[in-house]
Amino acid sequence: MTAFSPVDRPRRLRASPAMRRLVAETRLHPAELILPMFVREGSREPVPISSMPGVVQHSTESFRRAIADAAAAGIGGVMLFGVPEHKDATGSGATDADGILNVATRIAAEEAGDALVVQTDLCLDEFTDHGHCGVLDANGYVDNDATLERYRDMALAQAAAGSQLLGLSGMMDGQVAAVRDALDGSGYANTPILAYAAKYASAFYGPFREAVQSSLEGDRRTYQQDPANRREGAREVDLDIAEGADIVMVKPAMSYLDVLADTAASSPVPVWAYQVSGEYAMIEAAAAHGWIDRRRAIEESVLGIRRAGADAVLTYWATELAGWIR
Ligand code: PBG
């Protein structure tokens, strides 16, 4: 009896590590990794975030060291979040030159030099006592246009502090145009905007709430997108590009790879993805139980996001991953 012999043998190109390396379609490089970081006001020591093992709310000192480590690892940038001591209804800490995020930005810019791009989250939720991404009207609804005024002021404070890329994550209508106008009118025409263009109302932001000590009750569904909608993601991306976004982002990453692939296929500007806190927590938790191989899962998850079309990825593993792939 003669054995059946297939005509096509894709396995030929999988036979050795060297061959697999040669034919790999997607490669990871440190320059396309961006590290999100939390800096806590008034803290002498870094404070661990229990739902994100390995991630901390930095003290100024540990923050400096982490910036130096990130630069040494060759990653492309850092995305900064502030954890203020005091919060209020309008998020006044966000526009205060001495507010924690603006202080951290100055430190990062000084520490990083030209080694990486210092980026800042432009949103009010870390700074408001109610935890929403904007200011509220008399009915408790997030007031879109009043919030835009706050974002304009926040943008100027961040640009003045030395932020090299403003990450607009609040999902207010018209936020890119409003911030672009404010920057252009104040001598910051060369400060670029990263628009969190397709940002979904996701359960995967859960650990982030602990990271920034958010007091949010309820959810963000009146401004972040419904996870059911793919077409709506495309609309948000188109609007942000038309309003002047220099880079667009899809967020979260792993549950929205279709939206990411759509965006990558149509966008004339770079497309990034944010592997968010819950995605990090899931892999860390499973790995801690010995249920998955930690390093392989991390590499595969980021590779998958790149393969789907992200030009760069925000990930809490950026520095560690850069060390592996360098
Ligand atoms: C808004 C913002 C959030 C995240 C990044 N920017 C929270 C939210 O929109 O609810 C989440 C990031 C993460 O979960 O890792 N400032």
Residues whose beta carbon lies within 6 Å of some atom of ligand 1: 121, 123, 125, 133, 169, 205, 208, 220, 276-277
The helix/strand/coil state of 6 is coil
User: DSSP label at 312?
Assistant: E
Q: Quick check: 47 and 40 in contact, CB under 8 A?
A: yes
Nearest CA to ligand 1 atom 6: 169
ipTM score over 0.90, yes or no? yes
Strands 117-122 and 33-40: what pairing?
Answer: unpaired
- Overall average pLDDT of the 119-144 stretch: 97
Q: How far is the CA of 208 from the centre of ligand 1 (A)?
A: 6
Q: Quick check: 198 and 227 in contact, CB under 8 A?
A: no
Q: Cα(16)–Cα(11) distance, rounded to whole angstroms?
A: 10
The pLDDT tens digits of the residues spanning 204-261 come to: 999 999 999 998 888 999 999 999 999 999 999 999 999 999 999 999 999 999 999 9
Q: Cα(78)–Cα(291) distance, rounded to whole angstroms?
A: 30
The alpha-carbon radius of gyration of the chain (Å, integer) is 21
Name, in order, each residue with C-beta under 8 angstroms of 156's C-beta and a sequence gap of 6 or more: 182, 183, 186, 188
Q: What pLDDT, on a 0 to 100 scale, did the predictor assign at position 252?
A: 98
Residue type, 232: E
Compute the CA torsion angle 111, 251, 136, 214 (nearest 10 deg). Answer: -60
Residue type, 186: S
- 231-243 and 175-184 helices cross at what angle (nearest 10)? 10
Query: Which of 120, 204, 208, 256 for mutating ligand 1's site (highest number of atoms within 8 Å of CB)?
Result: 208
Q: Quick check: 37 and 81 in contact, CB under 8 A?
A: yes
Band of pLDDT at residue 270, cut at 50, 70 and 90: very high
Report the Cα 268 to chain-centroid distance in Å.
Answer: 20
For residue 71, give the H/E element and its range.
helix 60-73
Query: 60: closest CA among 80, 86, 42?
Result: 42
Q: What pLDDT, on a 0 to 100 scale, did the predictor assign at position 218?
A: 83
Furthest-apart CA atoms within the chain: distance in Å: 83
The pLDDT tens digits of the residues spanning 174-205 come to: 999 999 999 999 999 999 999 999 999 999 99
pTM of the model: 0.97
Domains located in the chain, CATH noted: 29-325 (3.20.20.70)
